[in-house]
Amino acid sequence: MRSTGFRRTFVALSVCSLALAASACGSGDDGSASGKTRITVNCEPPKSAKVDRGFFEQDVAAFEKQNPDIDVVAHDAFPCQDPKTFDAKLAGGQMEDVFYTYFTDARHVVDIKQAADLTPYIKELKSYSTIQKQLRDIYTVDGKVYGIPRTGYSMGLIYNRKLFEKAGLDPDQPPTTWEEVRADAKKIAALGGGTVGYADYSAQNQGGWHFTAELYSQGGDVVSADGKKATIDTPEGRAVLQNLHDMRWTDDSMGSKQLLVINDVQQMMGSGKLGMYLSAPDNIPILVKEKGGNYKDLALGPMPGGKGTLIGGDGYMFNKHDTPAQIKAGLKWLDHMFLTPGSGFLGDYARAKKADAPVGLPEPRLFTGAADAKDQQVKKANANVPVENYQAFLDGNHSLQLKIEPPNAQQIYSVLDGTVSAVLTKKDADIDQLLKDASGKIDSILARG
């Protein structure tokens, strides 16, 4: 499941088949045209996103000026990756030379043998060793590198500082355990006037997505390490559902309206009627720009539970038909566009600030060591949001185990939607039976592959 904030994630269909590149695109089999190495790339912002489109075009032009032997052809549309056409584009030879993927796609693309092995060329990517290892590992299969991370996010707790103060809670000390979340939610709901202490999703696969995040926070997992069996019918899974049941029915801190999806919850938070919900940092600009929220009132705490958090993000992989010259050119392009701290499409914070884009959110945080220090320094120098509101998130999430979504995520989330919605809409829901039934369905999904 993608985090739903604006991540500059756009894509377009390839104009020409790689198999027909010579005749349809005027390029040789080696990707060269007019003596240049030609690469097609995707995820260019669409024309409707004028600011980001302009930034992207500026950066591509600067790259081509620095590398006159490389010709970059960018394709745009929305979204960057359409799950309905992704596999068909790969199988049909229609995928770009350098193409966008979610973290959850990496293993699949390798398994169906559509990814180029980047291992012999990785030295061309100057930034590779500076990227967080746990993110690099997502694109590493059997010791070989098949992709490069571009962004990463982790789930935390968005909360309303104003409501915390009204309820007598310390807005600088967000809850770090689920017991504290429950206690704080009860105090916030007691303010009355339609105020809800804690909200959660339970429809459109989003309930299953959040169940997964909450299970990770308890130290549990959705499927076994070998990916063959469900592992939700456990004390950790029971704890997730029991906590939701108790907040909903015993404390009445989740409100009476359920079967919520992200837009419902964002509306509640933006209007000042919600105390807390789980999300990634990129929700905050949406709450301000689209839902009526205020940056000074919105803060981030770590994922409650202290044991783990769900991470997501994206990166680029390379077409299996790419030539060595195209792979080297593509890696250079990624360095220039996304992987140089403090510059490029995602890191030029001074440019973003001038365009009134939010600067100072704690994520994405891609780098480690000196590269991270430089990136954070430039970000802080250009911050136009209250960075102190996010310090608890930075401090608390740093020590958590980071886990990506399970295999067959959307199918599994659909099953878990029913589990979560039953707990939130039926006071007498049988949690043990719900977990047993969901486990059986997930086992069937995993057996089908």
Q: Which residues contact 246 (CB under 8 A, 6 or more apart)?
A: 182
Q: Across residues 268-278, what is the average pLDDT?
A: 98
Specify the residue for token string 């950790």: 236
Q: Across residues 111-118, what is the average pLDDT?
A: 96
pLDDT for res 31: 60
Q: Which residues contact 157 (CB under 8 A, 6 or more apart)?
A: 174, 175, 181, 276, 277, 278, 279, 300, 301, 302, 303, 304, 393
Q: Give dist(CA 221, CA 236) in Å, integer.
A: 8
Please, what is the angle between helix 431-448 and helix 235-245, to 10°?
130
Tokens at 385, concatenated = 């949001």
Please give the span between the terminal C-alpha atoms of the chain, in angstroms, as a whole number: 19
> Do β-strands 98-102 and 308-318 pair in parallel, antiparallel, or remain unpaired?
antiparallel
Q: Give dist(CA 166, CA 186) in Å, integer.
A: 13
Provide the pLDDT confidence category of residue 24 given band limits of 50, 70 and 90: very low
For residue 41, give the nearest of 83, 62, 71 by alpha carbon.
71
Percentage of residues of the chain with pLDDT beyond 70: 92
Task: Please name the residue ranges forming H helices in 112-177.
Answer: 133-136, 161-166
Q: Which domains does the chain have, with CATH numbers?
A: 18-153+312-379 (3.40.190.10), 156-279+408-448 (3.40.190.10)
Query: Given a cut of 70, is residue 12 above it in pLDDT?
Result: no
Q: Across residues 14-37, what is the average pLDDT?
A: 47
For residues 383 and 359, is the Cβ–Cβ distance under 8 A?
Answer: yes
Q: Give dist(CA 381, CA 383) in Å, integer.
A: 6
For residues 315 and 106, is the Cβ–Cβ distance under 8 A?
Answer: yes
Average pLDDT of the chain to the nearest whole number: 91
Provide the pLDDT confidence category of residue 423 given band limits of 50, 70 and 90: very high
Q: Across residues 225-251, what is the average pLDDT?
A: 97
Q: In this predicted model, what pLDDT tens digit does every residue of 355-405 receive, in sequence order?
A: 999 999 999 889 999 999 999 999 999 999 999 999 999 999 988 998 999
Tokens at 415, concatenated = 């099953």
Q: Give dist(CA 355, CA 267) in Å, integer.
A: 25
Tokens at 96, concatenated = 């770009």
